[in-house]
């Protein structure tokens, strides 16, 4: 490999949410953090070089993305996903969660119902409730170590609650499903039938394991395209979250008009110049780095699978089809949610994401970010093993 993903980089005292603000977030100091979806790897050298070069220019005025930026995006989505985006669909925002919150306000009123599929990325529920909309849950079904969609319940909940929006997570965070064409089509047809607009969060689309394929939901049918806000970003793929740039695609002119109007209500008009520079460099020059990273993550997954099978068989790995986030089933330990948190935090000295954060069906689970050097991952599992064996 050209890139050294085994390098351990100290992130303490760098204003890192992951490392520097445990106490502020209600956690003890000194925990080993594998929680937020933020990789412990340096972004590709061409991205760093582009940022340095821009810094040398020394002027950081109001900025916007231009034609060259769009053509880089167009090539990325066409070559990787067979999706032929158009210039007028693009709306740049500082983040996907920002875009979801904007869409919620733009397309619904207070009290309107929005449906999500828990356990799922917790800001979905937060953005719905903080904007005073009604949260409706179509809980995923967990059977024999795998998750599936309850389509009958999905449609029933839409009808019973007069649902206006559906937030789709694909690939799914945290359960790791990469939804199939049949699954996506069934969801899409139900939404069309009942006039439910879809917000498709596809931020993890670049992380799909061998044997699986990410399908852009909006690209499956023309009708879906005109009924969908597709949320993407380079932030997860290239570890650029702090640069705050996301690319949102809205083909429907009326929906796009409402979305932009809601953005302007908040006074947001220009994107971060460093985000533009970093995204363009990553998508145009970061492919080799990404492919090596995916190989490394696949090996990390193999390491975790083997470790659990041989040394912690009580903990069940939910086999991910995509993302670099591992969803682990601790139910066999027979602990309450409070007892499990105590085991993870106070005995194992780890900062993970408790399954309860992800809503219905998250009880007894933990989410681990495996995008870290192997030694850090091994240290975390060693600490977990010691804590469990001392507890028995």
Q: Is the pLDDT of residue 271 over 90?
A: no
Q: Is the pLDDT of residue 390 over 90?
A: no
Length of the chain: 392
What CATH number corresponds to the domain at position 280? 3.40.640.10
195 and 236 share one domain:
yes
The share of the chain scoring above pLDDT 70, in percent, equals 99
Per the structure, how many domains does the chain have? 2
**Tokens found for residue 384:** 């977990």
166 and 311 share one domain:
no
Helical spans, DSSP H, in the chain: 17-20, 45-57, 67-81, 96-107, 123-130, 151-161, 181-193, 222-225, 235-238, 253-265, 273-285, 287-311, 337-342, 374-391
C-alpha closest to that of 154 among 134, 140, 174: 140
228 and 325 share one domain:
no
Handedness of CA 209, 363, 169, 122 (dihedral sign): negative
272 and 356 share one domain:
no
Q: Is the pLDDT of residue 93 over 90?
A: yes
281 and 369 share one domain:
no
DSSP reduced 3-state for 148: strand
281 and 292 share one domain:
no
Write out pLDDT tens, residues 124-144.
Answer: 999 999 999 999 999 999 999
Write out pLDDT tens, residues 228-260.
Answer: 999 999 999 999 999 999 999 999 999 999 999
Q: 9 in a domain, yes or no?
A: no
148 and 172 share one domain:
yes
Looking at residue 270, its pLDDT comes to 84
266 and 368 share one domain:
no
Mean pLDDT to the nearest integer, 325-343: 97
Other residues' Cβ atoms within 10 Å of the Cβ of residue 331: 16
Q: 260 in a domain, yes or no?
A: yes
SS3 content of the chain, % helix, strand, coil (to 5): 45, 15, 40
Domain that holds residue 318: 17-42+287-391
Residue appearing with tokens 């069934």: 186
Is residue 121 classed exposed, middle or buried when 0-12, 13-18 and 19+ CB atoms within 10 A define those classes? buried
Looking at residue 171, its pLDDT comes to 98
Handedness of CA 148, 206, 242, 276 (dihedral sign): negative
Mean pLDDT to the nearest integer, 52-64: 94
Write out pLDDT tens, residues 287-321.
Answer: 999 999 999 999 999 999 999 999 999 999 999 99
Q: Is the pLDDT of residue 179 over 80?
A: yes
pLDDT mean across residues, the chain = 97
Looking at residue 75, its pLDDT comes to 98
Q: pLDDT confidence of 84, banded at 50, 70, 90?
A: very high
**CA distances for 251 relative to 99, 186, 188, 266, 365, angstroms:** 15, 21, 16, 22, 38
Give the residue from 265, 285, 305 where a domain finishes.
285
Asked if residue 219 lies in contact with residue 83, where contact means CB atoms within 8 angstroms, the answer is: yes
235 and 317 share one domain:
no
Q: Is the pLDDT of residue 391 over 80?
A: no
225 and 137 share one domain:
yes
Q: 2 in a domain, yes or no?
A: no
């Amino acid at each position: 490999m050209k890139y050294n993903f085994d390098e351990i980089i100290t992130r303490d005292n760098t204003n890192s949410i992951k490392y520097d603000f445990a106490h502020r977030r209600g956690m003890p100091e000194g925990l080993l953090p594998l929680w937020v979806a933020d990789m412990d790897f340096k972004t590709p050298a061409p991205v760093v070089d582009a940022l340095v070069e821009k810094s040398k220019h020394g002027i950081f005025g109001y900025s916007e993305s231009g034609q060259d930026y769009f053509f880089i995006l167009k090539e990325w989505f066409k070559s990787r996903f067979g999706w032929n985006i158009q210039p007028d669909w693009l709306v740049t925002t500082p983040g996907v969660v920002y875009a979801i919150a904007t869409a919620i306000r733009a397309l619904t009123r207070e009290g309107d119902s929005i449906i999500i599929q828990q356990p799922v990325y917790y800001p979905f529920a937060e953005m719905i409730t903080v904007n005073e909309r009604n949260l409706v849950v179509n809980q995923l079904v967990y059977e024999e170590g795998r998750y599936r969609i309850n389509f009958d319940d999905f449609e029933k909940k839409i009808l019973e609650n007069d649902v206006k929006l559906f937030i789709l997570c694909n690939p799914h965070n945290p359960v790791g499903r990469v939804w199939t064409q049949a699954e996506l089509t069934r969801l899409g047809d139900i939404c069309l039938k009942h006039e439910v607009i879809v917000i498709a969060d596809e931020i993890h689309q670049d992380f799909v394991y061998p044997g699986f394929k990410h399908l852009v939901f909006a690209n499956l049918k023309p009708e879906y395209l005109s009924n969908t806000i597709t949320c993407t970003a380079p932030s997860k793929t290239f570890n650029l979250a702090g640069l705050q740039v996301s690319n949102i695609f809205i083909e429907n002119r009326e929906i796009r008009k409402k979305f932009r109007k809601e953005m302007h209500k908040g006074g947001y008009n220009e994107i971060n110049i460093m985000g533009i520079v970093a995204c363009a460099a990553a998508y145009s020059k970061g492919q080799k780095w990404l492919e090596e990273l995916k190989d490394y993550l696949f090996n990390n997954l193999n390491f975790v699978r083997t470790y659990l099978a041989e040394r912690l068989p009580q903990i069940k790995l939910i086999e991910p089809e995509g993302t670099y986030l591992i969803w682990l089933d601790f139910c066999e330990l027979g602990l309450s949610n409070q007892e499990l948190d105590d085991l993870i935090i106070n005995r194992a000295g780890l900062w993970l994401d408790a399954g309860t954060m992800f809503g219905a069906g998250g009880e007894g689970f933990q989410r681990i970010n495996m995008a870290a050097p192997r030694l850090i991952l091994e240290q975390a599992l060693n600490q977990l093993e010691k804590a469990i064996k001392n507890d028995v």
